[in-house]
């Protein structure tokens, strides 16, 4: 039987050197230290978005040090650092920098309200100056690898060969696996289907500068931008209203699910998948409400391609980001 890392715990083999696991999102950064005693020294903070464009890298280096202090570890004992980050990525002399719409304010300009004008945020180069071994991957890929090892994208310890992880959170992202091969692309950006154009809607400004892509329409921060004028200041208020029977809120959520459901359908028919696991804060906190609505957008449509593909909640739940970073180095 495959151990459940959420209930049974996870620890490295006896005598293994500690590793640092970093999950970077558009809203927060989480750092965990892991050794042969388990997962320890967790530190979380809002994602750094002010100052020079090395602010995020400096934040991570500091947080790893603070996590080591909490765990009683010497920072020099860290054997590797796994970084699962929102993207997209650009490569500068082979080193990953972030061109992330929810971090870099220079991409869409002042209309998005971010407190910087960064085109990119430095990441890999400063981390490699501080740590001997660093692996950076898109957070969708990290979550996919974790779900295939410990979560909903494996059966009895056998990783599924044709599957995807999809996050519906501050942004929209994916990790994709076809014929047992994790898709990465030329810069590690495979899976950024949140930036597919799906609408001519003029109020759906994404942080990347696009208007009318999936993320600009339905991501967590898009809900506040698009519907605050209708009385729904954020996604939490929108769902509270829907649960109370507010017809306007229900209609908005149904439309959000139409966009996401069609995106999932397109993914299934393009890649011939057998299972998609879903996570991220927007989905996870409302999964019982959202999952049937998403399934309805897929079920019965072109059965020769959609039959046999399941939509399921992420097996690692709210910890999928933490385990996504861990999967890169453990």
End-to-end CA gap in the chain:
19
- Judge if the upstream peptide bond of residue 88 is cis by omega within 30 degrees of 0: yes
Percent of the chain with pLDDT over 70: 98
Let me know the angle formed at the C-alpha of 206 by 163 and 311, rounded to the nearest 5 degrees. Answer: 20
- CATH level 3 topology of 156-314: Nucleotidyltransferase; domain 5 (3.30.420)
CA distance 330 to 324: 10
Residues in the chain: 330
Mean per-residue pLDDT over the chain, rounded: 94
CA distance 288 to 280: 14
- Read off the pTM: 0.93
- CATH level 3 topology of 19-140+321-327: Nucleotidyltransferase; domain 5 (3.30.420)
Tens-place pLDDT, residues 304-329 = 999 999 999 999 999 999 999 999 99
Mean pLDDT in residue range 273-297: 97
| Domains of the chain by residue range | 19-140+321-327, 156-314
Long-range contacts of 221-224, Cβ-Cβ distance < 8 Å, separation of 24 or more? 221/26, 221/102, 221/170, 221/171, 223/256, 223/282
Q: How are strands ordered across the β-sheet holding 163-168?
A: 181-182, 172-178, 163-168, 275-279, 310-313
E strand or H helix at 270, and its extent? Answer: helix 247-271
Tens-place pLDDT, residues 132-174 = 999 999 999 999 999 999 999 999 999 999 999 999 999 999 9
- Domains 19-140+321-327 and 156-314 belong to one CATH topology: yes
Across 48-52, 68-72, 124-128, 284-288, least confident range: 68-72
Tens-place pLDDT, residues 176-198 = 999 999 999 999 999 999 999 99
pLDDT class of 219 with cuts at 50, 70, 90: very high
| pLDDT > 60? residue 7 | no
Tens-place pLDDT, residues 66-98 = 999 999 999 999 999 999 999 999 999 999 999
Q: How are strands ordered across the β-sheet holding 28-35?
A: 38-46, 28-35, 19-24, 80-85, 134-138
* Token couple for 122: 């430095």
């Amino acid at each position: 039987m495959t151990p459940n890392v959420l209930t049974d715990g996870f620890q490295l083999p006896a005598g293994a050197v500690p590793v640092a696991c970093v999950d970077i999102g558009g809203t927060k950064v989480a750092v965990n230290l892991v050794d042969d005693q388990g997962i320890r020294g967790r530190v979380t903070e809002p994602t750094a978005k002010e100052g020079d464009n090395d602010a995020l890298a400096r934040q991570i280096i500091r947080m790893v040090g603070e996590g080591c202090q909490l765990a009683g570890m010497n920072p020099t004992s860290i054997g590797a650092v796994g970084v699962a980050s929102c993207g997209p990525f650009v490569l500068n002399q082979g080193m990953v920098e972030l061109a992330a719409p929810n971090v870099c304010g220079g991409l869409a300009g002042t209309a998005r309200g971010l407190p910087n004008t960064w085109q990119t945020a430095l990441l890999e180069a400063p981390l490699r100056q501080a740590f001997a071994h660093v692996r950076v991957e898109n957070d969708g890929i990290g979550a996919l690898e974790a779900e295939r090892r410990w979560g909903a994208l494996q059966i009895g310890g056998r990783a599924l060969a044709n599957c995807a992880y999809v996050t519906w959170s501050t942004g929209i992202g994916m990790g994709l696996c076809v014929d047992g091969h994790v898709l990465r692309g030329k810069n590690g950006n495979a899976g950024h289907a949140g930036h597919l154009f799906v609408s001519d809607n003029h109020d759906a400004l994404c942080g990347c500068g696009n208007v009318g892509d999936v993320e600009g329409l339905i991501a967590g921060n898009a809900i506040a931008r698009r519907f605050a004028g209708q009385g729904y200041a954020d996604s939490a208020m929108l769902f509270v209203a829907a649960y109370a029977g507010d017809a306007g809120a229900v209609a908005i959520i149904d439309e959000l699910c139409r966009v996401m459901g069609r995106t999932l359908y397109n993914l299934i028919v393009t890649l011939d998948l057998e299972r998609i696991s879903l996570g991220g804060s927007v989905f996870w906190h409302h999964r019982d409400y959202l999952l049937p609505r998403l399934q309805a957008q897929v079920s019965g449509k072109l059965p020769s391609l959609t039959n046999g593909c399941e939509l399921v909640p992420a097996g690692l739940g709210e910890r999928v980001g933490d385990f996504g970073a861990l999967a890169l180095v453990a």
